[in-house]
Amino acid sequence: MADDITPEDSKLTVTKRKWAGQGKFLTGRIARPETDRLPPGQHLVKNWPVLDLGQQPRVPTSQWRLDVRGLVNIPTTFDWAAFQALPQTEMRSDIHCVTTWSRYDNHWKGVSTRDFLDAVDPKDEAVAVMLTSYDGYTTNLLLSDFASPDAIIVTQWEGQPLTEEHGGPVRLVVPHLYFWKSAKWLQRIDFVAMNHAGFWEKNGYHMRGDPWAEERYSND
């Protein structure tokens, strides 16, 4: 499904690459999640804005697969039934987009990343994961961030199946990092020994993306 797209040339990609070069939205403030619910430079929204690389892949649950490869003791390909058979968890969290919007109190249902890690058993050499989406998007995460207590691989939002525009049927949600790290339309997770840059990271965005430290761009 990724063969027809060239995300490097999309209007959004060109614009956000320019923002990275300009340092747009940076305030220079440092906040702490323990005391500041809204990170520096963010504003609250009630809706859930939609951003993507120009296409929204349609992946029926009957065709969805999640390949787990790399430095794991149990390489696995999950189909929908196998993924639903994993322990199911509900969480509530805020989300923060690098384009400055934040949304409070999102109710998720899916598989916590800690339960997921129990199922695939990463090897000791694994230090990071590379996420690949059905639209060809990639993003990297340190394994410690992927395994955070509030991280969840979601199939539902607000009691309903996750919609196509928001990354359904399955996406990652890592609330303590900017939302570009929470890959939509999740297709593959590779466990790796080095933290390599994904799509936006190669286009000027920060390798980690902590909203409270305002890690928007690679030259912060």
Residue 54, in any domain of the structure: no
Domain extent for 82: 7-48+59-202
Residue 208 belongs to a domain = no
**Number of domains making up the chain:** 1
Backbone torsions φ then ψ of 183, nearest 5 degrees: -60, 135
Any domain includes 99? yes
What is the structure's pLDDT at 29?
65
195-212 pLDDT, tens digit each: 999 999 999 999 999 999
Q: What is the pTM of this model?
A: 0.84
Residue 11, domain member (yes or no): yes
C-alpha 178/C-alpha 174 separation (Å) is 8
Q: Indicate which CATH number applies to the domain containing 125.
A: 3.90.420.10
**In a domain? residue 116:** yes
Q: What is the mean pLDDT of residues 159-170?
A: 95
Whether the CA torsion 55, 90, 115, 205 is positive or negative: it is positive
| Cβ proximity of 203 and 219 under 8 Å | no
Checking if the pLDDT of 24 tops 50, the result is: no
| pLDDT at residue number 171 | 98
Is residue 212 included in any domain, yes or no? no
Residue 49 pLDDT: 81
- Residues near 141 by Cβ (< 8 Å), separated by ≥ 6? 128, 129, 131, 174, 177, 181
Torsions phi, psi for 80 (to 5 deg) = -60, -45
Name the more confident of 151 and 5. Answer: 151
- The closest alpha carbon to 95, from 202, 181, 186, belongs to 181
Is residue 1 a part of any domain in this protein? no
* pLDDT tens-digit map of 75-98: 999 999 999 999 999 999 999 999
